Chain A
Amino acid sequence: MDLFVVLKYGLGVVATIGLYSVLYKENKFYRFWEHVFLGIAAGYLTVSLWQETLYESWWLKVTGSIATVDKAGNVAVPAVPGYWAYALLLPIGMLGYLVFSKKHNWASRIPVSIIIGLWAGQQAQAWGNRYLKQVADSMRPILPNTSELFVPSPPANGFSLSQKYQIDSTVYVSQALSNLVFVFTLVCVISYFLFSFEAKSKTMKFMTTSGRWLLMVGFGAIFGSTVMMRFSLLIDQMYFVFQEAPMKVYEQFQSKPAAAPVTPPVNPPVTPPK
């Protein structure tokens, strides 16, 4: 039995129940586990930040590393020299903490301005990559060029290349309808955000009102999706408390200690017949 596994899952269940106990009312049991959670999270974050990032990407670059030798005595990883100039990144980063000093807080703007400069420089390209393809995708045909209602289902062995081209160049009735709904929604929602002039005409009023309603439908769908996610998290915790943890602990109690390795019987030395 691995006591660590039993403790890990046992404490996990107690902590989960402790954190959910706030739903009944505010209590000390909840407060205790909340502090434990925050403490562990902060400690874990610090260690993982050092191990996962700073050590390999910065510290080893400053100090270099000695050669690694494998069991046979061969050099597996050659020594790497350190580059002391990387150490200069530390004071630049530490300037950020001067934000707490009344006298020197201007210096904290230096690292911030470097980050903002880097970020701003990327934005033109980032904006293009993100939105231009969507703008192109908004130009959709709303008139069908066939009387067929639906896109044909693929046969068991799939479409041939020529069939694929033909399907791609055809606008089926169902596609045209779907595109119409899309284009109508897009135009209405955009007109809702036209603040440059007052919407006085009946058409504009209809468009902006429809835009508002369609936005509400969209927000409703997003909210529904969010609620479903919150439920998923609760279901996962219920699974952990009622099934996963008891199963893992049960497995530990069921497991037998590993049997000693079986050594082949040693044959007695054969004595030659006299």
Chain B
Amino acid sequence: MENKTLAQKLQSVPRTTLFAILVLFTAGPLFISGIKIPGEPTPEVKSLFNKLMTIPEGSTVLIGSDWTKSTRGESQGAFRALVRILMRRKIKFAIYTTGDPQAPEVARNEVKDIIDEEKKADPSFKWERWNDWVSMGYFPGAEGTANAFENDFVGAVSDKKDVTPQGLKLSVTSSPVLEKIKSLEDVELIVTVTASKTVTIAIERIKKAPMAAMVTGVMGPETRVYYPRQLMGMSAGLRGVYDMESMMEKEFTDPKYKDLNKDRGARYYPTLHFAIGLLIIAVIIGNVGMFMQKKEEAKS
């Protein structure tokens, strides 16, 4: 068997070992609760949160839900934080999708889970499909949909049906959520939770309503250029989710919300630091090995 030098060993750590350590570093910290990451929420997240906290009760917000299980790690936390704030502030919302036909079902299940969790914490909590929120389903073609929303919102969504508490399938335009909405100007805010470019497409075409975005880490850098002129607020990646949740902790101080405020962001963001730490250590070890080997080769 060939005897490896330390420099060679440092550069050839078995892949399986590295993955095993990675699993340890990403699964282990999830069991440690209460790790706080110091730092101030970013201005764009603050701006989004402040807007959500100042929308009048009973108004309507549109949620563009363009994420599925493939980006659950980031988008789910963002969606949950947004929906929780809207529910607690009694702001009605209508969910639509332009990115992926699978997304409406994911969003509906998520809202159902959040309602169950909020009910568990507060038995008097009531949030009813059709009366408080509706799902408008999938609209094929983000470009055409954004144009149609801008020019004739009621006409664009009148085909879409949702289920009433009596079990009837009626047009969403007759629901208490959208019955007063005659144009996009009547909508308080459009928030797009997305893992793709659907927010850019909306920015290019919609001018009648203020917009905000909750995007993944990948989309963060290219979406940030739209703040504050085209987006009045935004959150990007796990950092954005963590910031939203930390502000929710300060705003919703009722003890019944204590555990619910600390959701995906509070769980995943500290764990992410362990994973990034491991990555940095691995890069350093590899580089040290490389320099040692170069030195050895120069000597010989």
Contact = CB atoms under 8 A, between A and B. Distances in A.
Contact of B168 (A70, A127, A227, A228): A70
A136 B229 contact: yes
A126 B230 CA distance: 13
Contacts of A127: 204
A129 B73 contact: no
Contacts of B23: 238
Interface stretch (A47-55, A104-112, A188-196, A264-272): A47-55
A61 B97 CA distance: 21
A228 B230 contact: no
A79 interface: no
B102 A44 contact: yes
Given A45-B101, A227-B279, A130 B143 contact: no
B76 interface: yes
B138 interface: yes
Given A77-B170, A235-B271, A238-B30, A228 B217 contact: yes
B205 A122 contact: yes
Interface class of chain B by DSSP? helix
Given A48-B102, A68-B169, A236-B76, A231 B137 contact: no
Contacts of A166: none
Contacts of A228: 217, 237-238, 272, 276
A236 B73 contact: yes
Interface in B264-282: 264, 267-268, 271-272, 275-276, 279
A234 B230 contact: no
Interface string B202-241: 0111010000000011101110011001100000111000
Interface in B16-32: 16, 19, 22-23, 26-27, 30-31
Interface residues of A, number: 49
A130 B204 contact: yes
Interface in B98-142: 101-102, 104-105, 137-140
A273 B22 CA distance: 84
Contact of B143 (A52, A119, A133): A119
Interface string A150-180: 0000000000000000000000000000000
A234 B101 contact: no
B287 interface: no
Given A45-B101, A227-B279, A234-B275, A243 B237 contact: no
Contacts of A130: 200, 203-204, 230
A26 interface: no
Contacts of B19: 23-24
A242 B144 CA distance: 42
Given A61-B159, A77-B170, A129-B204, A233 B276 contact: no
Interface string A73-90: 000110000000000000
B72 interface: yes
A226 B137 contact: no
B135 to A, nearest CB: 10
A71 interface: yes
Contacts of A129: 203-205, 207, 230
A125 B205 CA distance: 8
Contact of A242 (B30, B102, B217): B30
B169 A236 contact: no
23 contacts: A45-B102, A52-B97, A53-B140, A77-B168, A119-B143, A122-B143, A126-B204, A130-B200, A134-B230, A218-B221, A227-B276, A228-B272, A229-B71, A231-B275, A231-B276, A232-B237, A232-B238, A233-B70, A233-B73, A235-B30, A235-B268, A236-B73, A238-B26
Given A134-B225, A221-B221, A225-B236, 13 more contacts: A45-B102, A53-B101, A57-B159, A76-B168, A77-B168, A129-B205, A136-B229, A227-B276, A232-B74, A232-B272, A234-B22, A234-B275, A236-B72
Closest 5 CB pairs of A and B: A236-B73, A229-B217, A126-B204, A52-B138, A232-B73
Interface of B: 15-16, 19, 22-23, 26-27, 30-31, 70-74, 76, 97, 101-102, 104-105, 137-140, 143-144, 147, 159-161, 166, 168-170, 200-201, 203-205, 207, 216-218, 220-222, 225-226, 229-230, 236-238, 264, 267-268, 271-272, 275-276, 279
Interface of A: 23-24, 44-45, 48-49, 52-53, 56-57, 60-61, 68, 70-71, 76-77, 118-119, 122, 125-127, 129-130, 133-134, 136-137, 218, 221-222, 225-229, 231-239, 241-243
